[in-house]
C-alpha cells in the first residue's frame, strides 16, 4: 500500500496542484492523507478548499482549521481572518467538523500536531528562537497513553520534514509543508520554523506486510513567485519572503 502524505497547505493551491501533478507522475498512491491546516493564509483559501473537496482525502483538523472555523473574527490572526472571509458558512462548518485524529489504515494514525492536541509540537522543541528536534524521551512522554498498536504516526504542524524512530519501533513521519515553507510564531516562547527552500513538500510511505518499509521526502518546484505576489497583494510581505526563499526575513 502506498500512502501520499500532505500537510500544512495553508491556502497555497498553486503548490498543492504541483504536488498532485508530481504524485500523478510517480504513479499515484492508494491513499492520499491530508494532515490539516488547509486554508489559513493570504493566498487562495476558496480555491484550495475546492481542490481538496474534489480530492476527497481523509483529513484531520489543524489548529488553523479550528481557528478559521471557530474564533471570533475580530480576534483572529490575519491569515485566519483572510481565509474565513472567503469561505461559505457550509465550508467553515466542514472545517469545524474535521476530526482531531483518524486511523487511515491498519496501525496508521494521522493527526496534525499531537494525537491529543492540534497545536502542541510532537517532535520539536524551541531553542534559540528556532524549532529543533526534541529529545526522544520527551517525544515518548508526549505520546503517553496512545494505543501502542499504532505503529506509524503521521503528523504535520511544525512544517519541518522529520522522521523519528522510537525505541519501541513506532515511527513518526512529518512530510513538511505543502504551501508555507517558513513561519514566525510570536506566541511565547517566540520562534521560527524554516524549511530552507521555497519548494512544496510532501511525503510518500510504502507499506509492506503491515509495516512501513520505505519513506520518501519530496520537494517540488512550482511557481512560488506567483504565490509571493499574491501574498504581497494581501499586504503580507513576510509571507512573500518566506514563499520566495524558505526563510523568514531577518
| CB contact at 8 A, 33 and 110 | yes
**How many domains are contained in the chain?**
1
Identify the pLDDT of residue 213: 84
Flag whether 24 is in a domain: yes
Flag whether 58 is in a domain: yes
Range of the domain at 121: 2-245
CATH number at residue 82: 3.60.21.10
| Residue % of the chain over a pLDDT of 70 | 100
Burial of 176 (0-12, 13-18, 19+ CB in 10 A): buried
**Largest Cα–Cα distance in the chain?**
51
Identify the pLDDT of residue 46: 98
Identify the pLDDT of residue 171: 97
Identify the pLDDT of residue 103: 98
Residue 2: pLDDT above 90?
yes
Flag whether 250 is in a domain: no
Give the pTM.
Answer: 0.97
Flag whether 202 is in a domain: yes
Flag whether 75 is in a domain: yes
Identify the pLDDT of residue 212: 73
> Given CA atoms 118, 132, 182, 58 in this order, what sign does their dihedral have?
negative
Residue 210: pLDDT above 80?
no
Per-residue pLDDT tens digits for 66-78: 999 999 999 999 9
Amino acid at each position: 500500500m502506498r500512502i501520499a502524505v500532505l500537510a500544512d497547505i495553508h491556502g497555497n493551491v498553486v503548490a498543492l496542484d504541483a504536488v498532485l501533478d508530481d504524485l500523478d507522475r510517480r504513479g499515484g498512491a492508494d491513499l492520499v492523507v491530508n494532515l490539516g491546516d488547509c486554508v489559513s493564509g493570504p493566498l487562495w483559501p476558496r480555491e484550495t478548499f475546492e481542490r481538496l473537496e474534489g480530492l476527497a482525502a481523509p483529513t484531520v483538523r489543524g489548529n488553523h482549521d479550528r481557528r478559521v472555523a471557530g474564533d471570533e473574527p475580530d480576534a483572529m490572526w490575519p491569515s485566519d481572518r483572510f481565509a474565513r472571509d472567503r469561505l461559505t458558512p457550509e465550508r467553515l462548518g466542514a472545517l469545524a467538523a474535521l476530526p482531531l485524529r483518524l486511523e487511515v489504515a491498519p496501525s496508521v494514525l494521522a493527526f496534525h500536531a499531537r494525537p491529543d492536541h492540534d497545536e502542541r509540537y510532537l517532535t520539536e522543541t524551541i531553542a534559540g528562537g528556532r524549532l529543533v528536534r526534541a529529545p526522544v524521551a520527551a517525544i515518548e512522554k508526549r505520546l503517553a497513553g496512545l494505543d501502542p498498536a499504532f505503529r506509524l504516526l503521521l503528523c504535520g504542524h511544525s512544517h519541518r520534514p522529520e522522521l523519528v524512530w522510537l525505541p519501541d519501533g513506532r515511527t513518526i513521519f512529518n512530510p513538511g509543508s505543502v504551501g508555507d515553507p517558513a513561519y514566525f510564531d510570536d506566541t511565547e516562547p517566540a520562534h521560527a520554523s524554516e524549511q530552507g527552500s521555497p519548494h512544496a513538500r510532501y511525503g510518500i510511505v510504502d507499506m509492506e506486510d503491515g509495516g512501513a518499509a520505505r519513506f520518501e521526502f519530496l520537494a517540488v518546484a512550482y511557481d512560488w513567485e506567483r504565490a509571493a505576489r499574491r501574498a504581497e497583494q494581501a499586504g503580507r510581505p513576510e509571507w512573500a519572503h518566506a514563499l520566495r526563499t524558505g526563510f523568514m526575513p531577518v
